[in-house]
Structure 1
Amino acid sequence: MRLDPVSLRLFVAAMEEGAIARAAEREHLAASAASRRLADLEQQLGVALFARSNRGTEPTAAAYALLDLARGVLNELDGIATQMRGFGAGLRGHVRVAANISAITQFLPAQLQRFMARHPQVDVRLQEQISTAIARSVAENAADIGILAEGDYGERVTLLPYRSDELVLVLPAGHALARRRRVRLAEVLDHEFVGTHPGSAINAALARGAAEAGRPLKLRMQVTGFDALCLMVAAGLGLGVMPRGSALIYRSALGLRTLTLAEPWAQRRLMLCVRAQGELPGVARHLVAHLQD
């Protein structure tokens, strides 16, 4: 059985108007087409809905039973259409975001709070990864949007401008270099460092900087977050490099100093990473536009 929503709407109109002709006019159908549709509906259901006579038509008991059922079905169909329009407009659904720790600690909390306040029926699922893993997640459709350090991640992803940040040197307040305002990396390579995630963009920048200076990088340990890095630096276990905005979160509480790194690579760009904007679900397109605003 294939019930036609047009025929169901016509049937409801006929019950409410009390005449097939008026129902046909209301539903913008010819009277003959309306009569044929109702006859087809009766044939599909195997029951008479109207008793026909010279005086017109009268609804049967089956028609009154069908009326509530038809209204319920049509309301459900209208609800489906409304919800799907919501998905198309990007107002409900979910979006998967993979971001590096720099974006998460500096920019995303406030941006996501504003976005989700405007779109409370959107579920944003955020996962922290290093930049190379982020690009891979987006390329393999494990994430809809990535936020990572600028770089070459291949042709399978598209990079869009997001934000700029600055890497700074972090050290204890009592360190011999604490009174300096800025340093070159070559001046501090005699000291041991606390690094971030293995394979992270910051570690890679430090390694390249040390290689350009012709010196080894003394990486004493690696940790998985800026909070752990700052705790290790505060304990005197090494120097650290992290974004200035992230360092501000921990500097006062842990008694740390931040020094400007006089290196061109210390000025960075963070990028949004997508497969192709045309392939993004509506809700993801809305979030990309919000993050770029």
Structure 2
Amino acid sequence: MKLDPVTLRLFVAVMEESAIARAAAREHIAPSAASRRLAELEAQLQVELFTRSNRGSQPTAAAYALLHMARSVLNELDGIATQIKDYGRDHGSGLRGHVRVVANISVITQFLPAQLQRFLAQHPQVDVRLQERVSTDIARAVADNEADIGLLNHGSYGEKIQLRPYRRDRLAVVVPHGHALVRRRSVRLAELVQYDWVGMHAGSALNHLVTRAAADQGLQPRLRMKVTGYDALCLMVASGLGIGILPEGSARLYLGTLPLHCIALQEPWAERELMLCVRATETLSPVTQLLAEHLCQPAAD
């Protein structure tokens, strides 16, 4: 039995796109050729990967099992290509490889840029590929071998991933200059519900945390709009469209350029624990292990 990478990439694309036509276009293969390759793959493996009906094709349990294995194999092949290419460029000795990292917006805006800069300065031949996602998607990406390292909010994400302490952050309130709260050094959640809010989108961990905390206190915030990033949130608040809650470290990035004031949020849940996660059942590659250890080092004073 010989499984070629082209067919495996096509199979992964079909699973991710949920349509043979879109997957074929993504992999630059004719739809008829893609269908033929999938049929040949099923014949080689002697297992049905898709149940076909007049409503389309649905992945079987075997398809989901193969998806995890195919991603692992393709990732290893990509790693080989990257490392050998580095030798061909005569970069000399040193650590080589690539690491796929997924992180939430809180980590990316507060901690990750400086950490990655230091790591890549020490290991210039390592290729770090970074994507931003919400915490639940991060856990799933690591568990399904779409990523090697995840950085996310603390939570329960199942037994397929292993969590390590990463950093702690604290939530704060941002208000525009001239707001009634601007002279306050701290504020409670109950004091904020009389004002319009600019909130994060419904799928974000921050939205879930604030919504749950408000419900626990019997409060109903006046949510005027939802946005998908801290930059948009701060721009809307600076324009006087409401107040916002976001990590203090992220808020401080905008204080010098936007007419904003940052106020401490005095709630027990305002201090959050951020975690690093890897797959629980696999030995990490040397370069992934090194990056994970670097990220988990205590913050410098």
Q: Establish whether TM, by shorter chain, passes 0.5.
A: yes
**Partners in 1 of 2:221 and 2:143 — Cα distance?**
32
CA RMSD of aligned residues (A): 1.9
Q: Which residue among 285, 290, 294 is the counterpart of 1:290? A: 294
Work out whether residues 173 and 243 of structure 2, in 8 Å CA contact, stay in contact via their aligned partners in 1: yes
Alignment-derived partner of residue 91 in structure 1: 95
**Partners in 1 of 2:168 and 2:257 — Cα distance?**
25
SS at match of 2:287: helix
Higher mean Cα deviation, 198-207 or 277-286? 277-286
Alignment-derived partner of residue 271 in structure 1: 275
Relative to structure 1, the CA distance from residue 159 to residue 234 in structure 2 (aligned partners, 3 Å threshold; closer, same or farther) is: same
Larger Rg: 1
**Partners in 2 of 1:155 and 1:199 — Cα distance?**
22
Q: Which residue among 229, 234, 237 is the counterpart of 1:230? A: 234
**Partners in 2 of 1:226 and 1:285 — Cα distance?**
30
Alignment-derived partner of residue 35 in structure 1: none
Q: Is 1:167–2:167 an aligned residue pair? A: no
Structure number with the higher helix fraction is 1
- Letter of the 2:237 partner, please give it: V
Q: Which residue among 205, 208, 227 is the counterpart of 2:209? A: 205
Deviation at 1:153, TM superposition (A): 1.0
**Partners in 1 of 2:224 and 2:135 — Cα distance?**
22
Q: Which runs of 4+ in 1 moved over 4 A?
A: none
Work out whether residues 200 and 227 of structure 2, in 8 Å CA contact, stay in contact via their aligned partners in 1: yes
Higher mean Cα deviation, 215-224 or 150-159? 215-224
Q: Which residue among 259, 262, 280 is the counterpart of 2:284? A: 280
Deviation at 1:90, TM superposition (A): 8.7
Alignment-derived partner of residue 126 in structure 1: 130
Alignment-derived partner of residue 145 in structure 1: 149
> 1:13-36: CA deviations, max 9, x gaps?
xxxxxxxxxxxxxxxxxxxxxxxx
Alignment-derived partner of residue 156 in structure 1: 160
Work out whether residues 171 and 256 of structure 1, in 8 Å CA contact, stay in contact via their aligned partners in 2: yes
Deviation at 1:278, TM superposition (A): 4.4
Work out whether residues 174 and 262 of structure 2, in 8 Å CA contact, stay in contact via their aligned partners in 1: yes
Q: What is the aligned-residue identity percentage?
A: 61
- Letter of the 1:267 partner, please give it: E
**Partners in 2 of 1:227 and 1:120 — Cα distance?**
30
**Partners in 2 of 1:110 and 1:277 — Cα distance?**
30
> 1:17-69: CA deviations, max 9, x gaps?
xxxxxxxxxxxxxxxxxxxxxxxxxxxxxxxxxxxxxxxxxxxxxxxxxxxxx
**Partners in 2 of 1:172 and 1:90 — Cα distance?**
49
What is the 5 A alignment of 1:65-80? none
Q: Which residue among 242, 256, 261 is the counterpart of 2:260? A: 256
SS at match of 2:98: strand
Q: How many residues align?
A: 209
Alignment-derived partner of residue 69 in structure 1: none
- Gaps (5+ residues) in structure 1? 1-78, 84-88
**Partners in 1 of 2:278 and 2:120 — Cα distance?**
20
Higher mean Cα deviation, 109-118 or 208-217? 208-217
Q: Which residue among 130, 133, 140 is the counterpart of 1:136? A: 140
TM-score after normalising by structure 1: 0.68
Deviation at 1:155, TM superposition (A): 1.2
- Gaps (5+ residues) in structure 2? 1-82, 88-92
